[in-house]
Amino acid sequence: MKTKREDLFTREFLLQNMMGPNCVRILEELLASVELHSGMRVLDLGCGMGLTSIFLAGIYDVEVFATDLWIDATDNYERFKSVQLDHKIIPIHADAHELPYAKGFFDVVISVDAYHYFGAKRGFLDEYIVPLTKKDGIIAVAIPGLKKDFFNDVPEVLKPYWQEEDMNFYSRSWWHALWRESMKIKIEQSLSLSCHKKAWEDWLECDNPYAKRDIEMMKAENGQYFDTIGLIATVK
């Protein structure tokens, strides 16, 4: 049975469990271009504290494998129980390079605000994600990125916040080119998501110390450089 969005979680629950720009808002926009059916098997890769998994299971009545490296599976299980969705969401603790799933297991692979941590290397998609996805299955990711690539020319105002080794912020065209290297998928869409500004505003309302740190960064950025990018592909 599907659930209304407002019945899934309160605003307080959202703010307590965000780990970055509002992943539920981002997922809502991303899924406007993805057809989900009741009973589908969905991998939510890099699910964090499970907000996107709760949304997928509650709104779309799909079976979700909520997979994350940083958040303990038992912690997520308790969260899923608290919203009465533990029968639809399976919490898994795993690295994106060592996913414990059968080939062709998933109808859909979703990743919101996580894929850039592990998927920015050539060949990752073909080696680790495509094999787990059924033929004609969907891979849909949303990632923080840039309106235009900096390469080695990071703006002065952002240098105090820029972490070269793990940010992996790139433009939509950069990500599109990376995915286009794969002969195993067909790119359906690559787009800048219109919820970008609001998703960040939601995050900056949180009590999370990382959100507090990001307030000054977003003041410095002032809407000039960052983007939220969506990529949707079909497996051939």
Q: Read off the pLDDT band of 139 (50, 70, 90).
A: very high
pTM of the model: 0.96
Amino acid in the structure at residue 209: P
The alpha carbon dihedral of 117, 120, 121, 124 has a sign of positive
Domains within the chain, CATH numbers bracketed:
5-235 (3.40.50.150)
pLDDT for position 142: 99
pLDDT of residue 3: 66
Q: What is the C-alpha to C-alpha distance for residues 113 and 195, in angstroms, rounded to an integer?
A: 13
pLDDT of residue 2: 63
Eight-state DSSP code of residue 39: T
- Kindly report, residue by residue over 180-195, the tens digit of the pLDDT: 999 999 999 999 999 9
Pairing of strands 41-45, 226-235: unpaired
In the β-sheet with 41-45, what is the strand arrangement from edge to edge? 89-93, 63-68, 41-45, 106-112, 133-146, 226-235, 185-192
Cα(89)–Cα(81) distance, rounded to whole angstroms?
9
